[in-house]
Structure 1
Amino acid sequence: MKVQIEAEGGSSTAESRERLLEAAGQLMAERGTTDISLSEIAARSGVNSALVKYYFGNKAGMLMALLRRRLGQGMADLQQLLKMDISPQDKLRIHISGMVNTYYQYPYVNRLMHELANEPSGDYGKQIAEEISLPVAKAQRAILEEGRAKGIFREVDPLVFYFMIVGACDQLFHSRHQARHVFGLEEINDDLKRRYVSELCNNLIRGISADPRAN
């Protein structure tokens, strides 16, 4: 069956799989929604939609694979960040900048996680928690505890901090239509992204500082 599939698609299994993932990501980014159909993905990728089941089990499995692809490097970078010999403030700045950059490149990521977490066809919620949400929350807690131990940060509730950061990093890109109608912005560009990161980091670090006057 594998030989037949490769012959029909005119490409290897890996290439066809990659084309499906890229097509799904492109469609969600362009349309600002995760509501895309298998037929649309197939048309964009040039790969038969029946192969989604062959490669991924179902559509949700394909989207989970895409989520891992988009966030995998960032999760690895986060673990390396914890080991860096830099201040807790700089660790937070790098972490927040990384999250915003991810949402800037792939604005559908957070919505996709919410939808997959509620997907009844598999244990995607557990997978997302174990592979993405929990490692991020643990990393944030470690940075907060380091800052607290050094007298740099005040005591901060890690649960509140986690949802505050995720929400702030995603909101600018999730609400592009509001930016257009309220502020007349036709696009979220790189300059706005940088200004957003700077303001967010400054306000956040000042807010959790043991001595706000020092920031």
Structure 2
Amino acid sequence: MRARSKNSQRESQQGTQDVATREQLLIAAGELMAERGVSDVSLSDIAIKSGLNSALVKYYFGNKAGLMIALLRKVLGPAMLQLHHLSGMKLPPEEKLRIHISGMVMIYFQYPYINRLMHQLLSDEPDTFGSLIAQEFSAPVAAVQKHILDEGFAAGTFRKIDPLLFYFHIVGACDQLFFGRYQLEHVFGIKAINNQLKSQFIDHLYSVVLDGISATSKEP
């Protein structure tokens, strides 16, 4: 019994250590991408940043791409859960729309490397990561957006809107602002997106979208 208890304790300690090591590697990768404004960081850089051996990436994640997918799940997981809860909330559809747009922009603002990382994975291995990213991250967003649009139409608040066009309007606007940092700097003289610009963008995008889909607006 004592031997079994000691084995269980060792396994528990090892499990805790494994979780901590995985987390350390993920945090290091995310911080490097945020600091450098890029999505492609080397295993050696991740090892230096984390203070761990780069071989641990293969041990815990299989390869660097596996680590990057795990990072996406780590940072987007809570947002996906909140998105799911949004559908069932007893709120007017226009308020749900504002919460959704605000949440989308906040994710990009908090984790500015997310869009670059997705683009990188899709560019490097589209057949491997295309369906995975679509099913885990894009499809849930599109489903909630459609739910909000359907609720708004049923309530007489929104006119009938194509959910496909709506999806690319919202996601594309967020993606372009945070992906287009060179346009921000060289066209508008803005080197970084701060809280003020983030809030202004949320207000602008929400008002433009709401005006466009309102039941009182004219169809194009």
TM-score by length of 2: 0.88
The aligned runs of 1:25-174 (5 Å cut-off) are 25-120=30-125, 123-174=128-179
Tell me if structure 2 keeps the 8 A contact 1:152–1:209. Answer: yes
Segments of 5+ residues of structure 1 without an aligned counterpart are none
Q: Rg bigger for which structure?
A: 2
Distance in 2 separating the partners of 1:148 and 1:199:
22
AA aligned to 1:115 is Q
Segments of 5+ residues of structure 2 without an aligned counterpart are 1-9
Distance in 2 separating the partners of 1:212 and 1:157:
15
Of all paired residues, the percent bearing the same amino acid is 55
The aligned runs of 1:168-183 (5 Å cut-off) are 168-183=173-188
What do residues 125-145 of structure 1 show as CA deviations (whole Å, max 9, x unaligned)? 222111111111111011101
Distance in 2 separating the partners of 1:56 and 1:40:
16
Distance in 2 separating the partners of 1:150 and 1:84:
15
AA aligned to 2:129 is Y
What do residues 165-201 of structure 1 show as CA deviations (whole Å, max 9, x unaligned)? 1111122211122212222223210011001100110
Local SS of the residue matching 1:123: helix
Tell me if structure 2 keeps the 8 A contact 1:103–1:173. Answer: yes
AA aligned to 2:28 is A
AA aligned to 1:77 is Q
Distance in 2 separating the partners of 1:83 and 1:45:
40
CA RMSD of aligned residues (A): 2.0
Distance in 2 separating the partners of 1:51 and 1:153:
51
Count of residues in Structure 1 that have an aligned counterpart in Structure 2: 206
Distance in 2 separating the partners of 1:179 and 1:126:
31
Higher mean alpha-carbon deviation, 156-165 vs 111-120, is at: 111-120
Local SS of the residue matching 1:212: coil
AA aligned to 1:170 is D
